[in-house]
Structure 1
Amino acid sequence: MNRIPFDTVVLGAGIVGVCVAVHLQKRGRQVALVDRKLPGNETSFGNAGLIQREGVYPYAFPRDLDTLLRYARNQSPDVRYHAAALFKVAPFLWQYWRNSHPATHAAIAKSYSTLIERSVSEHRALAAAADASALLRPIGWMKVFRSAAAHDKEIRVAERWHAEYGVEFDALDAARLQQMEPDLDGTLLGAVRYPESDSVSDPHALVTAYTKYFEALGGRFFIGDADTLREGWEVDTQAGTIAAQSAVVALGPWSDPLTSRLGYRLPLAVKRGYHMHYAPQGAARLNHPVLDAETGYVLAPMARGIRLTTGAEIALYDAPKTPAQLAAVEPVARKLFPLGERLDDEPWMGRRPCTPDMMPIIGPARNHRDLWLALGHAHHGLTLGPITGRLIAEMMTGEETVVDPRPFRVERF
């Protein structure tokens, strides 16, 4: 095969890989970006479109007995599991549960928040450079509630986040909520709005815009098979063999087969999720992304329509689709907001790559020179893509890093 030389090859063209490629190219590296599909067509295609400035505490495993028993029955709309996957993922779930102890979770947040605090500003800077600012909406998002107890609990959580990390929030009563979202169910008791977060009207279009910016900087995208990576660093593509001095693995839920072949035993698991787009009925309008906090789904206004996204499904990443959660929450969502007809032929399914301590792996691989890892972002891949790209690029080029990278190193496992 024809050999094509580059300084760096980035494997994976989701939001994280694209942002790594952009930041390296900006710093003078000649970068090849490789994926089996066009950029943004896997996990980055189907999220709720949130850039979560408020997400300083990553999503924890529940520890109260009532919630655990409810999940064990496998009928909860927000979390489902495949029984066939439980044996394989049990060690991951055990570590996830342990790391979700309040004291441990709080310690994790101290590190995690250093990335989250820069998530919106890094996206805005990159979107401006890529002429994609129109895709970002600085409107925040909200959680809505039917019970006063759940509403009050969320307010207490928001107050804690504000005290610890400066997260801004608005506590909305029923009247204020109806003023901001007049087409939502009028029986809602209130909401908590997080105004500093941005939302994205089309996540796939955003990844595409970032990719075009990368190419405008001189980078090149190739269709290829990341699993052909071999020390060198070489990888096969439709255009020939990429031969690079360094490689970055940013394959999201597909990282494990490659890293395992290279001798790494990373405790990665997959949470799957589904979405469907709907037309609004009549002139109904949804102004913010909305989480139905007591049921566990998001309605988000998108360029294609109203996107309904589900909670988490614990399954093997290659198991067949089982969109039972979507079927369970759709009737509830129709009561929350007047959804019309479905706009997609079938539910979309995506995979979130997760670590048991809820933090991504960002930094050099411990046993290979010039091999770097940027993976395991779970629910916050879209949120953390640009800051991850900047951090990896700073480390690879020897710059002073914008945040301390040590908490995210692979050696912690």
Structure 2
Amino acid sequence: MAAGSTDKDADVIVLGAGIVGVSIALHLQRLGRQTVLFDRRPAGEGTSFGNAGLIQREAVFPHAFPRDWRELLGYALNRKTEGYYHASMLPRLLRPFALYWYHSEPARYRAIARDYARLIAHCVDDHRALVAEAGAESLLRDGGWTMGCETPASLAENLKIAEESQRDYGVGFRALDGAALAAAEPHLRAGLAGGVQWTDPVAVLDPLALTRAYLALFEKLGGRFAYGDARTLTRGGAGWSVTGEGTKISAAEAVVALGAWSPVVTKPLGYDPPLFVKRGYHMHYRPEGNAVLNHPVFDVAGGYMLAPMNQGIRLTTGAEFADKDAPPTPVQLAKVEPLAHQLMPGLGQRIDPEAWVGARPCTPDMLPIIGPAPRQTGLWFGFGHGHQGLTLGPTTGRMLAAMMTGREPVTDPKAFRPDRF
């Protein structure tokens, strides 16, 4: 197409080609909406690239703001391995953290968990449907993942949470004593008290490959990918347009699915949610000798996860509160790497030349933002998934596509509506 020409054939432009954006575009295309997926980078190379690779059916309880003063003191002093903050971020975090603390009050949190669980309940089935259609079954591994507990007290505490998850939300788990954990993961160090094996989740052996498999299916169904800057989004007549690679692309509707970068586009349009970022790091390791990790293992005491991937064993860190575009500061990786070598003596040497860093888009009420934009006809939002972008991508795509085409959504979308902020 010649530079400066206009494409009026698209029904929808989806901004953002992470797992959420690709899933939204794919579901829209399947429902007959001619869709253009738009991003400045290749699909899956943003935050979707780096995660623990889990479709977390068990994640019915989102990450709450700590309310125990001893735990809060540990975070305030930057002594926790699972959390680290940049002091320069504190003024910008005051508003979202105040709201985060408010929504984490036990009664409010229980109501939020009920809404969250309604989405999580569909995640595995929604992924399996797309995986089968995309022919990407080799990227999934059944068997769930395990929380490794060092002490009997830690094991008892996490078993209590597991029992509540099973009782209230039908989540499957298996209690492992020290011997059972050693049998399941023989290359972890001896002496652990045991663990909780969540049996419903599915591991993804290469999250980038999965996103690209969904993209390939989207394109097979007639969808189109275009490169460009989402900040060029403007209202044009009765619809929306973006400019990419010298081509103006117009459509009746647009979807913002840019993760942590979504406010860059929504704020000029009058929507500025109290989104904040939890950055995370990962590094791959080459196991020594015959050492193997059969399934992902989370070190409860250390606050990190080891996950077997096609690239090696991936070590993922907790949350870093920093500007999404700030240079990497892998403090947490430096803290937990020795712990990971203690947990798995055969973990081996680093494979990657440097640590990867990505930005998780989080909301103060721990629920994603899914639905029509306030005061902007034909504009829709699908972002703010926090730690569960990979888990909830296809479910978000199915729900938002249904809403946009007048169909019944998979669950009541009221709790996720953008105008709640």
TM-score norm. by structure 2 comes to 0.97
Task: Give the 3-state SS of the residue equivalent to 1:193 in structure 2.
Answer: strand
Letter in 2 for 1:303: N
Matched, 1:18 2:6: no
Give structure 1 regions of 4+ aligned residues with deviation exceeding 4 angstroms: none
Structure 1 partner of 2:415: 407
Helix, strand or coil at the partner of 1:231:
strand
Residue aligning to 1:369: 377
Q: Note the 1:216-365 alignment, pairs <5 A.
A: 216-232=220-236, 233-238=240-245, 240-337=247-344, 338-365=346-373
Equivalent-residue separation in structure 2 for 1:215 and 1:71 (angstroms)? 45
Name the structure 2 match of 1:137: 141
Matching of residue 396 in structure 1 with residue 404 in structure 2: yes
| Cα distance between partner residues in 2 of 1:32 and 1:99 | 36
What do residues 66-97 of structure 1 show as CA deviations (whole Å, max 9, x unaligned)?
A: 10001111121110000000111111011111
Rounded to whole Å, the distance in 2 between the matches of 1:138 and 1:118 is: 16
Q: Deviation of residue 401 (structure 1)? A: 1.3
Distance 1:80 1:401 in 2: 38
Cα distance in 1 for partners of 2:115, 2:74 equals 31
Following superposition, the deviation at residue 151 of structure 1 comes to 0.7
Secondary structure of the residue that 1:339 maps to in structure 2?
coil
Aligned to 1:236, the other structure's residue is in SS state strand
The secondary structure found in structure 1 opposite 2:404 is helix
Indicate the percent of aligned positions where both proteins have the same amino acid: 54
CA distance in 2, matches of 1:198, 1:100: 28
Equivalent in the alignment of 1:45:
49
Within the alignment, does 1:68 sit opposite 2:72 as a pair? yes
Distance 1:316 1:180 in 2: 39
Counterpart amino acid of residue 7 in structure 1: D
Letter in 2 for 1:373: F
TM value normalised by structure 1: 0.99
Equivalents in 2 of 1:400, 1:216: separation in Å? 26
Quick one: distance in 2 between partners of 1:346 and 1:110? 39
Q: Does the alignment pair 1:190 with 2:194?
A: yes
Q: What does residue 212 of structure 1 align with? A: 216
The Cα shift of 1:284 comes to 0.3
| Aligned: 1:108 with 2:112 | yes
- Please report how far the alpha carbon of residue 239 of structure 1 lies from its aligned counterpart in structure 2 after TM superposition: 5.6
- Indicate if the aligned counterparts of 2:297 and 2:305 stay in contact, CA closer than 8 A: yes
Q: Which ranges of structure 1 fall in alignment gaps of 5 or more residues?
A: none
What root-mean-square deviation, in Å, do the aligned CA atoms of Structure 1 and Structure 2 show?
0.7
User: Of 368, 373, 389, which aligns to 1:381?
Assistant: 389
Alignment partners' CA distance in 1, 2:251 and 2:352: 40
Deviation of 1:252 after TM superposition, in Å, equals 0.2
> How far is 1:139 from its partner?
1.3
Aligned residues: 413
Q: By how many angstroms is 1:333 displaced?
A: 0.1
Q: Runs of 5+ in structure 2 lacking a partner?
A: none
> What is residue 180 of structure 1 aligned with on the other side?
184
Q: Provide the rounded CA distance (Å) in 2 between the counterparts of 1:36 and 1:293.
A: 37
